[in-house]
Structure 1
């Protein structure tokens, strides 16, 4: 906890100690970081522990379908200019993982917490955040996630009347509708590449009009709010109209958008844009994403894409043809077991790239690529795919558990 004004109760201390012990045992057994199981044990012993751990922190919550892990990392780097930060940097973003992360630091001033979209309202209730960043909402894990408007409604109801400052993307109608129930919103023009979940008005169901970068509902008048922060090319425009250059080691337009939202959050805590953006340059990779690794004497860039919106953004940042591309798709519990989302991805964007397909659901992906008239080869594993790739750097795009498999294989 920050300071000792309100020390943890004996029960809370016991819960933290037990959670750390279980996490350490899990790590020793080679079962991952142990953060989730440790957090579960701690919450079982003290159901109010998350709130207790957060009570002396200035908390920022970050939620979205895509980009929340990276944005959490960028905000954490920016806020370190103003004091120590605790964060769930490895992406364990449900209550158990969040509790475990907060239990790991007693000196922090700020808590920067990535939250799974389905848990945002509950975590906001428990942690009394000063700021909440809402980036985007799109289809994801079709077998177990509610459709996107229901998630937006869950956010809207859960955040109604919150004291937190909401930093929200004004280019995503679902995010705008969700945030509009809050009294204090800072709108950021961060852009929206994927629009297929926002053609109907979330407020009345009418057809959304989209002239240029604007949007509005012709039936009920729901419309894009005027932003005070904006991404403009390689710069962030602040509320005073000043343009601050974005220098990132992370690739792509989506990460510039994440940086713009992160700068707006940092400003809520008094960190100026220039300082915030300079600190964000330190971030080279996020939990292995964007890392370039050596494997079988080749350079592989590892890219995570979990859903149609994520794949669309990822296709925009890979090297041009004829750079080889390895695609890996699984459909395990953490991915969602329904692979019908593959049909929502525009694979014609890969035309000209030699494509190699691996993963548990490589045949599902192969059928989709066949229909998209792409040239591809199905391979047994990463080793075989790399051996078959023509010379040069290889782009490797994988969904969630496939990405973890790849990292283990390349020793990352």
Structure 2
């Protein structure tokens, strides 16, 4: 992995080789990409392997509750203007998956790494990143993730004194509080639709005031920092006040916000905004998200939404009524087994859309839609739901494992 000046130790090389062999065996057995099991084996053989693999790379870490896979992909595309990139593009974002990804990038200059929020501090310690992008923090996987303020505290303590340049969303109070312990922060006005996790001040517990797009705590004076980069409509404003057009194939305001943060990260490595944003146009879909697929003679657009903030952003993407919508929710371990978050989503935004409901927890979702006074049909599976939908393109919104199930069924 490292250049000739700093070769991997024999033990590290053995760990990489063994990890790749196990991953290949897992793929051959039809058990997925094998990246996680391969990384676990490699780290067992050399617990310092992640740090060794990162030594020769300029590392960018990307963490958030929503948008990290897409932003990781956008940053990777932008940085390819400056050299080869290795990235965990498939979203295996815990240490084993990250180790696997880096082990596959022997000629890379940059490592662009998506990191699960709960592992950010540890991965930052191991990889000595040059840059860390922090996009947002909201409630997610209520059965296994601590409340958002505790995650923010974990970030704040873990990043204190970090040498990395932190690119952080100035519009999310939790992110600002977490990033404020870092000596070198670039603030981006990326916006925040979902505000229900930041009504109290993360610093003192006081009530946040939110006049317009601004925010501050009336009690301790904690307030929104002045951003040097900003999303403004269809443009990114850079620190010099120049406006650069965003041309994406990915839909929605949230992805423009991701592009703004990605342009700020690319600039840290000397890639100009115009070049970075032009390269981001190459990204059509991210791990199947936003893909339009043909199934049973119909066009289905596949949209991933894992938590209340994600569902809110996704509702803003879908075609207007009477476009049919299929909703699918599971509650397996990768999703979080607690579905009480469904009550935090404003399903009245679907009024006028014919709705079909599928997934392991379709009855939980049906109760929620009933209370929201929505018209819907409960269906056995995607096949039946598509048959029941009126004509036109169908929007399909699913949470994490439900999305994977759908992709397998519709051949994406």
How high is the TM-score relative to the length of structure 2? 1.00
The CA deviation at 1:5 is 1.3
Residues 173-221 of structure 1: CA deviation (Å, up to 9, x unaligned): 0000000000000000000000000000000000000000000000000
Counterparts of 1:50 and 1:378 in 2: how far apart (Å)? 46
Counterpart Cα distance in 2 of 1:172 and 1:399: 23
Structure 2 Cα separation of the partners of residues 230 and 72 of structure 1: 19
SS in 1 for 2:256: helix
Mind listing any 5+ residue stretches in structure 1 that lack a counterpart?
none
CA distance in 1, matches of 2:326, 2:185: 41
Q: Distance in 1 between matches of 2:293 and 2:154?
A: 40
Q: CA deviation at 1:108?
A: 0.1
Q: Deviations over 1:67-96 (max 9, x none)?
A: 000000000000000000000000000000
In structure 1, C-alpha distance between the alignment counterparts of 2:16 and 2:291, rounded to whole Å:
33
How many residues are treated as equivalent by the alignment?
Answer: 412
Aligned-pair distance for 1:2?
A: 4.9
Q: 1:245 to 1:2 in 2, by over 3 A?
A: farther
RMSD: 0.4
* Helix, strand or coil at the partner of 1:397: strand
**Residues 102 and 111 in structure 2, CA contact (< 8 A), matched pair in contact too:** yes
Structure 1 distance, partners of 2:5, 2:312, is 48
Q: Is the 8 A contact 2:82 2:271 kept in 1?
A: yes
Task: State the 1:4 CA deviation.
Answer: 1.8
Query: What SS class does the counterpart of residue 271 from structure 1 fall into?
Result: coil
* SS class of match (1:401): helix
* Corresponding position of 1:10: 10
Tell me if the contact between 1:2 and 1:108 (Cα under 8 Å) persists in the aligned partners: no
Q: Is the 8 A contact 1:66 1:310 kept in 2?
A: yes
Q: CA contact under 8 A between 2:2 and 2:53: conserved in structure 1?
A: no
Written as runs of structure 1 = structure 2, the 5 A alignment for 1:241-256 is: 241-256=241-256
Normalised to the residue count of structure 1, the TM-score between the two structures is 1.00
What residue ranges of structure 2 are gaps of 5+ in the alignment? Answer: none
Displacement, 1:3?
A: 2.5
For the residues of structure 1 that align with 2:249 and 2:320, how far apart are their CA atoms? 19
Q: CA deviation at 1:235?
A: 0.1
**3-state SS of 2:77 partner:** helix
Work out the CA distance in 2 between the residues paired with 1:326 and 1:4. Answer: 54
Instruction: Tell me the residue number matched to 1:391.
Output: 391
* SS of residue in 1 equivalent to 2:122: helix
Once residues 392 and 364 of structure 1 are traced to their aligned partners in structure 2, the CA distance between those partners, rounded to angstroms, is 27
Distance (whole Å) between structure 1 residues aligned to residue 30 and residue 190 of structure 2: 40
Q: Distance in 2 between matches of 1:115 and 1:311?
A: 21
Contact 1:203 1:222 in 2 (8 A): yes
